[in-house]
Amino acid sequence: MIKNVPKVVFMGSGPFALVVFKFLLHMESIDLDLVITQPARSVGRKKLLQMTPVGKFAHSKNLKIVEASNSTQILESLDFSDVDLVVCVDYGVLLKQEVLDAPKFGIINIHPSLLPKYRGCSPLQAALRNGDAATGVVIQKMVLAMDAGPIYSQQHYDLDSADDIESLADTLANLACHDLEAVILGIVSNSLDPIEQEGAVSFCGKVKKEDGLMDPTVHCATEFVNALRAFKLWPGVTIDLDEKKLKLLTFNKVDDIELSIFEFKKINKSVYLGVKEGTLELMEVQPESKKPMTALAFYNGYLQND
């Protein structure tokens, strides 16, 4: 039985982490008043400094905030002598052993995949891009090797065809919260032991701009749709057209229209694109160096006289 309320520090940065952070703040069984997050960064044309989503919310709640971009800065900025446990979610930095050992009960990490599948920084995008039927989220003990630590809790999720990067992130972050309090209290009471990962190990790297570049002569309609689900926020789905890039902002796969590969066709007020093994109905596109526009406006202005 826990005699004292455990002192917990939260470490995270992005929107996925923010969901978990808000949940922890409502837990009366822990003491959480300090947050470690990535430093504010300049954004936009005016290069204005902007805090991370977690940092911004923590500031609004008058919590203590440590902005650190590496292990050295963390150790220089924080005394871990009274910290029982650190909860790390989407922090974005590999931590050194000195940091992992600093809290009394170490650091736990929330990772949105069924480990050991998709160790790395883009498991959400990987599951969607690959058209996986299922994924999940784990709470694991953080170790020096990337996402290799033993698992305290695992939640399974059957993917829906309507899931995209935004909805999946929100679903899995909330799913992780279901077991989080029990895991934290189990760890600090020495009543919960993690289980080593089992199965084939795979990795996913940082998403690059070129990952969103698709080829109608190579990729089928389903692959286009999966790419949009994965890369909707960034980098989007792009094709090469007349030595320029055309971003396909919104589109659907259709089964009742057959076109040649790379053929654009207008039927009534709808615009379609033939790709390998299928057809896409385009709704909104963005030509290179232009503003977003409807597919119909693009067809009439760019393709009508081709």
- 111 has catalytic annotation: yes
Are 159 and 256 found together in one domain? Answer: no
- Which of 111, 156, 178, 219 is an active site residue? 111
Residue 244 belongs to a domain:
yes
Are 133 and 231 found together in one domain? Answer: no
120-165 tens-digit pLDDT: 999 999 999 999 999 999 999 999 999 999 999 999 999 999 999 9
Reported confidence tier of residue 1, pLDDT bands at 50, 70, 90? very low
Are 177 and 236 found together in one domain? Answer: no
Are 165 and 271 found together in one domain? Answer: no
Which residue has better confidence, 166 or 1?
A: 166
| Dist CA 294 CA 298 (whole Å) | 6
Checking if the pLDDT of 267 tops 90, the result is: yes
CA count, 13 A, side-chain hemisphere, 194: 25
Residue 62 belongs to a domain:
yes
Residue 223 belongs to a domain:
yes
Residue 48: how many CB atoms within 10 A of its CB?
Answer: 10
Range of the domain at 94: 7-204
Nearest Cα residue to 80 out of 136, 22, 34: 34
Q: Distance between the two ends of the chain, CA-based, in angstroms?
A: 76
Q: Number of helices (H) and strands (E), helices first, in the chain?
A: 8, 17
Residue 96 to residues 38, 70, 90, 224, 277, Cα–Cα distance (Å): 16, 9, 16, 39, 47
Residue 2 belongs to a domain:
no
Residue 132 belongs to a domain:
yes
Checking if the pLDDT of 2 tops 70, the result is: no
| Dist CA 298 CA 279 (whole Å) | 18
Classify 236 in phi/psi space as left (phi over 0), alpha (psi -120 to 50) or beta.
left
- Would you give the DSSP letter of residue 165? H
Checking if the pLDDT of 47 tops 80, the result is: no
Contact criterion met (CB below 8 Å) for 183 and 153: yes
| Least confident stretch, 2-11, 79-88, 113-122, 295-304 | 2-11
| Dist CA 265 CA 284 (whole Å) | 15
Are 138 and 221 found together in one domain? Answer: no
Contact criterion met (CB below 8 Å) for 207 and 231: yes
- Joined together, the tokens standing for residue 232 give 């909707």
> Residue 50 sits in a domain of what CATH number?
3.40.50.170
Are 42 and 130 found together in one domain? Answer: yes
Contact criterion met (CB below 8 Å) for 55 and 31: no
* Angle at the Cα of 238 from the Cα atoms of 232 and 244, rounded to 5 degrees: 150
58-104 tens-digit pLDDT: 999 999 999 999 999 999 999 999 999 999 999 988 999 999 999 99
